[in-house]
Structure 1
Amino acid sequence: MLWISVFGFGIIAVFVVWIINYFCTFRRAPISLILAVFAACYIAFSIILLVPIDLATTTSDYQPLLYLPRKATYALWRIIYWLSFALTWVILPMTQAFLESGHKDRRKRLREALRSNARYQLVQLSLALIAMVYFILYSGFYFTSLKAMAIALSHSYSLILSIIFLGIGLVSIPRTLYNRSSADKRLQVLEEHAPTLKDHQTESRMQYSDVSSEVRALEPVMDGPYELWIMELISDAQDVVAAPPINRMQVTEEYLSNLTSRLRKCRHLFDRYEYEWNLLILQAADLLDIIASRQTHSLKFRFRRSKLSPSLAYFYYVWIKPLLFKFYALATAAFSVLVVVSELLEGTEFSILGFLSSLLDGFQQELMSFSIVAYMCLASYSCLAKVRIFNIFNLAPRHTDTRSAIFYATQICRMTIPLAYSYVSMVPPHVQSSVFEEFLQPSIDLTPLGKYFVKWLPRFILIPVIVSFFSLYSRLQQKLGFLDSFGEDEEIVGSRAEGRDLISYELNARRIRAESRQVQ
């Protein structure tokens, strides 16, 4: 039914709004950031419904429960593709440069964003020229050829990205769920991560203090033409000792713009590491309380209240919750095997998804497609969210900065079409092609390079799966010395004894502060 489909897309919109508010917080984020990130994330999650609707509508002998007219589905695929293309290559980079500019004048911020995006596009154009020569020599100089080139190049790059993150995520999700079933294992991970996180917190505090000191040094020259600007900077800075006075001639618009940008970045970094450190301490305290309850058979958390009685809390957190996580780990492992095997055996009679698809029809097929596509999106997007690239980009609840929010929104938007293509290509070919294949396939198959590259690349998913399963990635990080700044949170290994001491010291300090407040 059409209204059920519309309602489903509305539910996805509500979910995306919740996700954005969870990471960015609406009341603190600029409206331009919210709108751009919402558009990118909504596109990324919309395929969870659109792909099942497209396939079921095409293959079913009767109208399935979730239904869209073929023309409407074709229009949606075109909108999703070209809007994602515009978002990832123009709109999101422009928005990031505009919001990160320290200028107060909107025209100057826009000019700086245009200049920054022009440099970015020039690099992309230089690389595209090589591909353009190949396309022109093979298919001639036509507008359709140029459009196909844009589709094929963008799709190939995004497909590589999605295969890597999907392969790692298919291993990471079951492993993470299984590890969460053990309080001892989770505590070990926190203890190993604590020294690195504490170092980052200390370093970010020092950087924020240094920039704040430079801002405080502007107080003697606050009576000039930039008085309001300097007052805003001082209100955002820490209350620290000012640096040596700054010459009034140094205070220019460019200097204040640069200082504003540096202060904003340092404050975001400091807030992020403060939040992560506090979260680590609270999680460690809960795990220590759970481990200690094995002796007393009674659980009472020191920093939060449980709705359960101490005896029921002990039974739930020590016995029931670990079993639930093991069940979830087993279920997601089965989903992961299903996806990997179907990718490897794509187009053959041994494809598991192909076999299941031939048995199901209508809403049953939609439900199966919904489950698999949702899991593929979850694996890819969650893996991407865990990756920290030299501590520049990071998703932190309520403390995600502009650069990180736009970076992750851009990447998941880029993976939208490849993930949809990966699933559609795993199910067997039908008498009538899906609308998605009708729209995308002709452009991809225009040249042998695009046709065979896209056809065989998904089978290389086995490489990231093996790398992740045997933890080869983290071992390579350790050898190259990137361990502290690049990788998944649970892959980071530090000194466990040092981490245990840091956590113990912090917990004792908080206990003493709480007792002193009670005495007062």
Structure 2
Amino acid sequence: MLWLSIVGFGLIAILVVRIIGFFCAFRRAPLSLLLALFAAVYIAFSIILLVPIDLATTTSDYQPLLYLPRQATFALWRIVYWLSFALTWAILPMTQAFLESGHKDRSKRMQEAIRSNARYQLVQLTLAAVGLVYFTLYAGFSITSLKAMAIALSHSYSLILSIIFLGIGVVGIPRALYNRSSSDKRLRALEELAPSLKDHQTEARMQYSDVSAEVRALTSVMDGPFELWIAELINDAQDVVPAPPLNRMQVTEEYLSTLTFRLRKCRLQYERYEYEWNQLILQAADLLDIIASRQTHELRFRMRNSKLSPKLAYFYYVWIKPLLFKIYALLTAAFSALVVMSEILESTEFSILGFLSTLLDGFQQELLSFAIVGYMCIAAYSSLAKVRIFNIFNLAPRHTDTRSAIFYATQICRMTIPLAYSYISMVPPHVQSSVFEEFLQPSINLTPLGKYFVQWLPRFILIPVLVSYFNLYHWLQQKLGFLDSFGEDEEAVGSRAEGRDLISYELNARRIRAESRQTTL
């Protein structure tokens, strides 16, 4: 039914709004950022519904429950592809440069964004020159070959990205669920993480104080042409001892623009680490209470209230919840194994998930495809979200900065088409081609290089799967010294004894402050 499909896409829109709201504070985020993020994230999650509808419409003998006309499906795929192309290569980079500019004048911010994006595109065009020569020699120089080159190169790069993060994710999800079943393992991970997180928090506080002191030093030149601008900066800065007064000649528009960017960056970084440290302490307190309840058989959380009675809370958190996580881990591990096997054997009769998707008809096929594509998206997107690159990009609930939000939105939008292609390629070749294949395959298969590259690359998913399973990337990070700046924080190994002391000291300090407040009242 057409109206059910429309309702489904509407529910995805609601899900996307909630995801963006979880990571970004709506009140502080500019409207242009929210719109760009919504478009990118919505495209990334739209394939969870669009792919099942496409396959069920083209392979079922009768009209499925969720239905779109073939022309509408073709139009949607074109919109998804070209909008994602525009977002990842132009709109999102422009939005990031515009919002990160420290200039007050909108025209100057736009000029800076255009210059920044022009440099970015120049690098991309330089790298694409080799591909253009190959396509020209093979297919001739025409608008069609240029379009095919853009599709093939973009798809190949995005396919590599999606295969890596999908391979990491299908291992990471069952492992994370299994680790959550053990309070001791989770507490040990927090204790190992605490020293590095505390160091980052202290460093961020010092940087914010230093920049705030530089801003406070502008008080002596507030009567100049930049009075309102300086007043806004001082309002955003910490109340610290100002640095030595500045010479009025030093205070130029470029200087204030750079200072605005530095202050904004340091403030967001400081707030992020304060939030993460507070969350770590709250989680550690809960885990310590759960572990201690094994002796008393009653659970009372020191940092929060529970709706359950002490005995029921003990039974739930010590027995029921760990068992549920182990069951989830077992189920997702089996599903991950099926995804990897089907990816390796795609386009053959032995692709299990592809075979099952064609064995069923109508809504049953759509439901299976929905589950598979949804799991693949969650695996790829969640593994990407856990990666922190040199401590620059990071997703933190309600404290994600503009640069990080746009970076992650760009990457998941980029992985949309390859993930859809990966699942559709699992379907045995004798089945009627989907609308997606009719739209994309002619451009990808224009040259033998593009055709065989796309056919064989998904089979290399076994490499990131093995690397993730044996934790080889963690070992490599240790050897290269990237442990604190690249990778999953949950895997960070620090001094556990030091972390235990830091957590204990913080919990005691909070307890003393709470008792002091109660005494005062």
Listed as ranges, the matches of 1:215-294 within 5 Å are 215-294=215-294
Q: Quick one: distance in 2 between partners of 1:491 and 1:231?
A: 43
Q: Distance in 1 between matches of 2:62 and 2:296?
A: 61
Q: Deviations over 1:466-495 (max 9, x none)?
A: 000000000011111111111012111100
Deviation at 1:431, TM superposition (A): 4.2
The equivalent of 2:314 in structure 1 is 314
Residues 389 and 485, structure 2, Cα contact 8 Å, conserved in 1: yes
Query: Which position in structure 1 is the counterpart of 2:145?
Result: 145
- Quote the offset at 1:130 in angstroms: 1.1
Q: Which amino acid aligns with 1:259?
A: L
Q: TM-score, normalised by structure 1?
A: 0.99
Distance 1:47 1:391 in 2: 31
1:51-450 equivalences in 2 (<5 Å): 51-450=51-450
Alignment correspondent of 2:485: 485
Asked if structure 1 preserves the Cα contact closer than 8 Å seen for 2:174 and 2:332, the reply is yes
Per-residue deviation, 1:506: 0.2
- In the alignment, residue 382 of structure 1 is paired with which amino acid? S
Distance 1:480 1:339 in 2: 32
Looking at structure 1, the residues matched to 242 and 63 of structure 2 have their Cα atoms a distance apart, in angstroms, of 71
One-letter amino acid of the structure 2 residue matched with residue 426 of structure 1: M
Q: Is residue 357–residue 427 contact of structure 1 (8 Å, CA) maintained in 2?
A: yes
Give the AA of the match of 2:265.
K
**What's the RMSD between the two structures over aligned residues?**
0.6
Residue 232 of structure 1 deviates from its aligned partner by 0.3
**In the TM superposition, what whole-angstrom CA distance separates every residue of 1:416-473 from its partner, at most 9, and x where no partner exists?**
0000000000111244210000000000000001000000000000000000000000
* 4+ residue segments displaced more than 6 Å: none
- For the residues of structure 2 that align with 1:431 and 1:312, how far apart are their CA atoms? 53
* In 2, Cα distance between equivalents of 1:357 and 1:205: 53
Asked if the contact 2:148/2:443 (under 8 Å) is kept, the reply is yes
Report the AA paired with residue 242 of structure 2.
A
Percent identity among equivalent residues? 84
Structure 2 Cα separation of the partners of residues 406 and 151 of structure 1: 22
SS at match of 1:225: coil
Q: Which amino acid aligns with 1:217?
A: A
Aligned to 1:502: 502
> Contact conserved, 2:218 with 2:245, CA < 8 A, in 1?
yes
8 Å Cα contact 2:59-2:358 kept in structure 1: no
- Say which is worse superposed, 489-498 or 89-98, in terms of deviation: 489-498
2:409 partner letter: A
Give distance in 2, aligned partners of 1:29 and 1:101.
15
- Output the CA distance in 2 between the equivalents of 1:138 and 1:173: 43
Equivalence for 1:518? 518
- Is 2:297–2:311's contact at 8 Å kept on the other side of the alignment? yes
> Is this contact kept in 2: 1:55–1:434, CA < 8 A?
yes
Verify the 8 A CA contact 2:293 2:299 in the aligned structure 1.
Answer: yes
Instruction: In structure 2, list runs of 5 or more residues that go unmatched.
Output: none
**Displacement of 1:357:** 2.3
Contact 2:281 2:506 survives alignment (8 Å)? yes
C-alpha distance in 2, partners of 1:484/1:51?
38
What is the letter of the counterpart of residue 117 of structure 2? Answer: N
Aligned residue identity for 2:165: F
**In structure 2, how many angstroms separate the alpha carbons of the residues matched to 1:489 and 1:431?**
44
1:176-221 CA-to-partner distances (Å, cap 9, x unmatched) read 0000000000000000000000000000000000000000000011
* Partners of 1:59 and 1:430 within 8 A in 2: no
One-letter amino acid of the counterpart of residue 166, structure 1 = L
Alignment gaps of 5+ in structure 1: none
CA contact (8 A) 2:213 2:241 kept: yes
| Residues 25-40 of structure 1: pairs in structure 2 closer than 5 A | 25-40=25-40
Displacement of 1:348 in angstroms is 2.2
Q: Secondary structure at the match of 1:393?
A: coil
Aligned length: 520
Q: Distance in 1 between matches of 2:351 and 2:384?
A: 27
Code of the residue aligned with 2:506 in structure 1: it is E
Per-residue deviation, 1:354? 2.8
CA contact (8 A) 1:391 1:486 kept: yes
Compute the displacement of 1:78 (Å). 0.2
- 1:229, 1:379 → 2: CA distance? 45
Partner of 1:451: 451
Q: Aligned AA for 2:121?
A: Q
Task: Answer yes or no: is the 8 Å Cα contact 2:74–2:439 preserved in 1.
Answer: yes
Question: In 2, distance between residues paired with 1:375 and 1:325?
Answer: 17
AA aligned to 2:364 is Q
Q: 1:253 is matched by which residue type in structure 2?
A: E
2:343 and 2:459 in contact (8 A); partners too: yes
